[in-house]
Amino acid sequence: MDLVVLIKALILGLIEGLTEFLPVSSTGHLLLVGHFLGFTSTGRTFEVLIQLGAILAILTVYGERLARIALALPTDPNARRFAIGVLIAFLPAVVIGMLAHDFIKTVLFETPAVVCTTLIIGGVILLLVDHMHLKPRHTDATRYPLGTYLAIGFFQCLAMIPGTSRSGATIVGALLLGADKRSAAEFSFFLALPTMAGAFAYDLYKNRDLITFDDAAVIGVGFVASFVVAVLVVRTLLDFVSRHGYAPFAWWRIVVGTLGFLGLWLVG
């Protein structure tokens, strides 16, 4: 196993953990940094499969709360309604993701200029939404109207374009649909569980015959790094956005997208 490759996997795993739940596009960062590091993975599976670390980070932080909701399903209508809401929000990604999977992986994932463009456009949109004088009608992520859950699910599908950001799309959608900043971020955590787990399982199935032992070792390094950093992000993000909003992440996106274009212009 090439030590240099493992170091690159470690760097990318740290980036995944840091950016997965921020509205800055973890996939966009992975593709751009991977491009400039000269890192390639079999079938682009690394970028999807290391998300398992971020999934486990949510379970680590929210495990007790999710367990209470699961145990209450037989007797509590609110718990059942929330579970149905998450499934409704997840459904658009299932349909569109399966239909567009090959195009996303073979075309969009291989075009760094698309990532840079969507990072900048998404940053501008996030900045505009963050400065809107929206009046929140929903402050509890477990009690959104069912129609709101479905609409957020369609917003999430925009993140199939690399650089858009899954959390960014769901957060912007939730804010425009009447959620406050804290609950919008929290629901993006909850919706990440079935979405990322589904993407993980489907991508692993599609590439099961291509992954070698060396691939598994590289993915394992990225997974561990992603998990450790993602736990820290999930524990601190809600308080941060409650105090500072989303403007810092909007500017982050714009700067990274601009630097990405500059890098492509200089080195290709």
CB neighbour class for 38 (10 Å; exposed up to 12, middle 13-18, buried from 19) = exposed
pLDDT reported for residue 198: 85
Indicate if the alpha-carbon torsion angle 50, 236, 24, 180 is positive or negative: positive
Q: What is the pLDDT along the chain (268 residues), one digit of tens a residue?
A: 588 889 999 999 999 999 988 999 988 898 899 989 988 776 677 887 888 888 899 899 998 999 999 999 999 999 999 999 999 999 999 999 888 877 877 777 778 888 999 999 999 999 999 989 888 999 999 999 999 999 999 999 998 888 899 999 999 999 999 999 999 999 999 999 998 888 888 877 877 777 777 778 888 899 999 999 999 999 999 899 888 999 999 999 999 999 999 999 988 6
Written as six digits, the tokens of 207 are 């590439």
Helices vs strands, H then E, count in the chain: 11, 0
Output the pLDDT for position 52.
Answer: 83
- The structure's pTM equals 0.87
Where do we find the tokens 């950093």? 229
What is the Cα–Cα distance from 188 to 164, expressed in whole angstroms?
Answer: 14
pLDDT at 1: 57
Check residue 203 and give its pLDDT: 78
pLDDT of residue 43: 65
